[in-house]
Structure 1
Amino acid sequence: MVSVRSKTSLNPIILLLERPPEIAFLDAVSYFPLVYWMRGTIDCLDDLLRAGITLAENVVVVNKELSNSAEEDTLADCNTIVAVQTMFNIK
């Protein structure tokens, strides 16, 4: 069974991206209502505040690192963990 939500019950989705997305990506997300992007990083408190982190109902953090070398496994997510802790402290 497919559940459909009305547009008035949707919340905006803000994608915080380090660099402008490719046109193909923008074309793909343009089919969805209330999806926006802005340039910034989760490491920067000002970027998080501008993106509306204090009003967010949900946050999804995706690690941008593509490298999975054995030497980097120990600290691979340290920046992401610190950024998420900062988000929790803001709320």
Structure 2
Amino acid sequence: MKHLDIKRALNIKGLTIKELAERLGVTYNGARLLVVNAQTLASLEKIASAIGIDITDLFFSDEEDSNKEENKPISFSCPYCGKPLNLHINK
């Protein structure tokens, strides 16, 4: 089964919510609310277009998550510029 994960799509494209807000022409809080509560097809289309992906790329399968859990990068944002940072730990 697939589930909506806009934060993951942003992370894959190397974008922050702040950058999404600028691309959408809304405030940071407005973009954050869209990321958390995007429930209409129109809002999903706007988000996908702003990120530069197809709307279907906002959805991820549960199988992808379980297969990648072991090598999943740890993600966090830079406290100065807000850019996403990924930490990969090799065993």
TM over 0.5, shorter chain: no
- TM-score, normalisation: structure 1: 0.22
Higher RCO, Cα 8 Å, sep 6+: 2
Larger Rg: 1
What TM-score do you get using the length of structure 2 for normalisation? 0.22
Q: Which has the higher helix share?
A: 2
